Structure 1
Amino acid sequence: MSIIVIGSVNVDIVTYADRAPRPGESLTGHRYSMVLGGKGANQSVAVARLGAPVHFIGRVGADSFGEFIRTRLAGLGVGPDHLAIDSQLPTGLAVIGIDARGENAITVIPGANTGLAVEQVETAFPLFADVKVLLAQLEHPFSATLRAVELARRAGALAILDPAPVPTFPFEADTIRLFDALTPNEIETEALTGIAPVDIEAAAAAARRLRDTGLPLALVKMGARGVYVDGADFQGHIPPFPVKAIDTVAAGDCFAAGLAVALAEGMTTESAVRFAAAAGALACTKEGSSEAAPTRQEVEALLTRNSRAS
């Protein structure tokens, strides 16, 4: 059993300040860090931290940032064997500003991520022999994801899409139902459905609109208000886990990874989403992107504490 992640990988330059600068303003911050990032890399590392075998299909430039990424991935338990090197495009870069509340603003320069193509997926064909779940996002060419979904389907695997960032291309019912699950946040949910999930009732309506396309499982992430789930075997609201958030950068990626691991292990939908929500909540308690991913033991401990408290 393995999980395949196809997606972006960046070097993240993270800055910390009391607040975000206003337009035209130069603001003095406290500090900065350079870390591994990109939704694909973040999700891959999070899957590895949760104890599942993972393969990552991504792309970097032939530069020092690319070498940094390959070294960091290996150090965090993700093999770089299918991290292709692009001779024309630089490694992707993200500049992330974090304020005193833990909220973030991100500018991404995709670089080599835009070169991730169908041909690269084809070279990774042997990985799909024992895949259980395919996990994808939208920070790389969608044509590559579609080919990966096709190969995953042939292997009997589930396909999960984290539709981030908001699609800039037609994303209609025929595309949505190619996947087994979608995990949009509030902004993405409104873009996909026309419904802003401002409360549980609105989130339920948005999830139902996604399900009406033929999508088997819709999970509307509502930030600090939890997750609304609409699936064949469970419909309802999963409340948030109470944690002290200091950095929300990796929350969505750790949620996606937690969901992939839980479904690969055969958990019920409700249990899988609770597991994913715990992973996402714990990511908010640490700084960084990939480095913020919790371990399996940390997730299970939070689930246990929450169960006792309720």
Structure 2
Amino acid sequence: MPVSPPLILSFGSINIDLTARTLRLPKPGETVHAESYTVGLGGKGSNQAAAAARLAKALGLEVALAGRVGNDTFGTEARTALKTFGVDLSPLLDDPANPTGVALIGIDAAGENCITVAGGANMAVDETDVVAATPWLTRASVLLLQLEIPQPAVLAAARLARQSGAVVILDPAPVPETGLLDALWQETDVLTPNENETALLTGIKPHNVEEASQAASVLMAKGAKAVLIKMGARGVYWNDGKRDGFCPPFKVTPIDTVAAGDCFNAGLAVSLAQGETLEQATRVAAACGALATTRKGAADAAPEWESVQEIWACSGLVPLD
């Protein structure tokens, strides 16, 4: 029988993003005029699926998305957009009782952003969605998780996928006020917080490798098997419990940081699905995150594999396959 290609499954949120671009972000109580606005695909679950699918086109990998959208115009728009990226939407459910999630995004002239999310159908995701996605969860090589859906569903998906041999990558964003469920730490193979999320989870905001190493030790003591700490323009620190290292930043001129973290995780998933080491996968992920900042939009900012190869070569690294 023919062997199925590796499957990357994203289980998480699907939003439509309403993005306004301004010279500066408004202060509390202030109104500022936008220079332009766009309506497009967003949500960490769909962003990571779309970014992984765009990369996977050249690599023979499959990418699917599980979660919920409303039975509304925005839900139809999200499905249409995801199909253009090549994402398998078979596990994605329609929710007749709740609207599709919406994110209200402001971006200033420096590329910084602020985001307000109305979760809608995302917040109704529960273990019934896990049951519906079981055929994909049990086949996945890599499972991408985020925290824009309820944690019990995230935990159930992680547990089922790991039992079937998947590598579980958790983007702990947004960090819940009550923290992560104790059991979720134990079901996480790779945790990928940024500086602010690291500070919320550990009390340490890493500005350098030494502080990132200290924070990673705290996170791994909680149960995470490996940790990648994203320090933006300062690079990425990684630790798998046996080895650690630092990936310096790729040199780019950023214009929009909205989807950098999602494209980072997509690159990480694609590389791990190919059987690469965590060190190599971290470098690929960093390249994807850097490239995403040079493009506008959320899912639309995802790079192609050819673009990753180009920035890789320009950085003097051994060519990627």
Percent identity, please: 48
2:136 aligned with 1:127: yes
2:257 aligned with 1:248: yes
* CA offset digits 1:91-145 (Å, max 9, x no partner): 1000100100111100100001011111111012111343101110000011111
Distance 1:125 1:18, change over 3 A: same
Q: Which residue of 2 aligns with 1:259?
A: 268
* CA offset digits 1:140-171 (Å, max 9, x no partner): 01111111112212211111100000123342
Distance 1:249 1:170, change over 3 A: closer
Q: Which residue of 1 aligns with 2:116?
A: 107
Q: Which residue of 2 aligns with 1:280?
A: 289
Q: Secondary structure at the match of 2:115?
A: strand
Distance in 1, matches of 2:27 and 2:154, equals 37
Q: Which residue of 2 aligns with 1:47?
A: 52
Segments of structure 1 that go 5 or more residues without pairing to the other structure are none
Distance 1:129 1:22, change over 3 A: closer
**2:211 paired residue among 202, 208, 231:** 202
Q: Secondary structure at the match of 1:285?
A: coil
Deviates more, 1:101-110 or 1:51-60: 51-60
Q: Which residue of 2 aligns with 1:303?
A: 312
* CA offset digits 1:251-289 (Å, max 9, x no partner): 000001111111111111111000000000000000000
Distance in 2, matches of 1:171 and 1:289, equals 25
2:25 aligned with 1:15: no
Taking the TM superposition and a 5 Å limit, the aligned residue runs for 1:82-161 are: 82-161=91-170
Q: Which residue of 1 aligns with 2:237?
A: 228
- Opposite residue 158 of structure 1, the aligned amino acid is V
* CA offset digits 1:217-275 (Å, max 9, x no partner): 11111111111111145312211111010000010000011111111111111110000
CA contact (8 A) 2:14 2:101 kept: yes
2:67 aligned with 1:62: no
Distance 1:90 1:189, change over 3 A: same
- Opposite residue 202 of structure 2, the aligned amino acid is T
CA contact (8 A) 1:3 1:133 kept: yes
Deviates more, 1:74-83 or 1:25-34: 74-83
Q: Which residue of 2 aligns with 1:28?
A: 33
- Opposite residue 116 of structure 2, the aligned amino acid is T
* CA offset digits 1:6-36 (Å, max 9, x no partner): 0001000011111001222221121000000
Segments of structure 2 that go 5 or more residues without pairing to the other structure are 1-5
Distance in 1, matches of 2:291 and 2:179, equals 34
Q: Which residue of 1 aligns with 2:80?
A: 71
2:85 aligned with 1:80: no
Q: Which residue of 1 aligns with 2:175?
A: 166
- Opposite residue 46 of structure 2, the aligned amino acid is A
